[in-house]
Amino acid sequence: MLDRYSTRWVKHPLTRIAMLLDDADITANQVTIAGFVVGLIALPALAYQQYTLALVAILLNRLCDGLDGALARIQGVTDAGGFLDICLDFLFYSLVPFGFVLANPEHNAIAGALLIFSFVGTGSSFLAFAIQASKRGIINPVYQHKSLYYMGGLTEGTETIGCFVILCLLPEHFATIAYVFATACWFTTATRIYSGFQTLKQDSAA
C-alpha cells in the first residue's frame, strides 16, 4: 500500500549511491547476494535475543534490496537478476519470524508459524499472477521498472519492513504484532487472488 510513496522518497538517494557502486564496477547481483548474506546475521541475532544487532542486519538487507534495483536500472534489468532478487527476498522475509520463534518457542511458535504461513499466501499470489501477466504481456501500470509484475496490496515491502522494525523494538509483543500483521497479509492475499483472477478472466475474454 505504501510502496508507491516510499519508492519515490528513496529513489534519488539510492540512485546516487548506485552510481557510485557502478563506478566501482560492482554489479547489482553482487549487491543482492551481499545483502542476503548480511541479512542472514539476523537469524542468530534474533535466536539469541540480540535485537539491536538483528535490526541493523534487517535494515542493511533492505538497503541492499533497494540498491540492487537502482543499480540494475543503471546497468540493465535482467531476468536472472530479478529471479535471484525475488528468491532471496522471500527467503529473508521468512527468516525473520523464524528467528523470533527460535528466541522464544513457547510463546512465539504459533504466531511465527502463522506469519510465515501468511507470507506464503502473499508470495504465491504475487508470483502466480506475475507469471500469467508476463505470458499475456500485461503491463504493470505502477511499478514500471520492476523485473516482475508487482501486485500491490495492504501489506507490501514498506509495511513488512515497518513490521520487522517494530518487532525488534518490541520483541515481548511479538505474538500480538505477528497475529495482526498476518491478518493483514491474508487480506492482501485474498484481494490479490480476486483481482488477479478477474484481470486474467477479462483479458482472456478480450
Range of weakest confidence among 28-37, 114-123, 183-192, 193-202: 193-202
Alpha helices in 51-173 (DSSP H): 51-75, 79-103, 105-136, 157-169
Joined grid coordinates for residue 10: 528513496
Pairwise CA distance, residues 87 & 112, whole Å: 20
Number of CB atoms found within 10 A of residue 176's CB: 11
Pairwise CA distance, residues 60 & 73, whole Å: 20
Inter-residue contact 143 to 150 (CB < 8 Å): yes
Inter-residue contact 145 to 73 (CB < 8 Å): yes
Inter-residue contact 89 to 65 (CB < 8 Å): yes
User: pTM for the whole thing?
Assistant: 0.84
Predicted pLDDT of residue 195? 86
Predicted pLDDT of residue 128? 87
Pairwise CA distance, residues 74 & 65, whole Å: 15
Pairwise CA distance, residues 60 & 63, whole Å: 5
| 122-131 core/surface letters (b: 16 or more CB in 10 A; e: else) | bbebbeebbe
Confidence of residue 38 (pLDDT cuts 50, 70, 90): very high
Predicted pLDDT of residue 12? 84
Confidence of residue 192 (pLDDT cuts 50, 70, 90): confident
- The mean pLDDT of the chain is 88
Domains of the chain, with CATH numbers? 3-205 (1.20.120.1760)
H or E segment and range at residue 177: helix 174-205
Tens-place pLDDT, residues 102-156: 999 999 999 999 999 999 999 898 888 888 887 777 665 444 445 444 455 667 7
What integer is the mean pLDDT of 86-101? 95
**Could you give phi then psi for residue 146, rounded to 5 degrees?**
-80, 145
Q: Which residue, 90, 89, 110, is CA-closest to 100?
A: 110
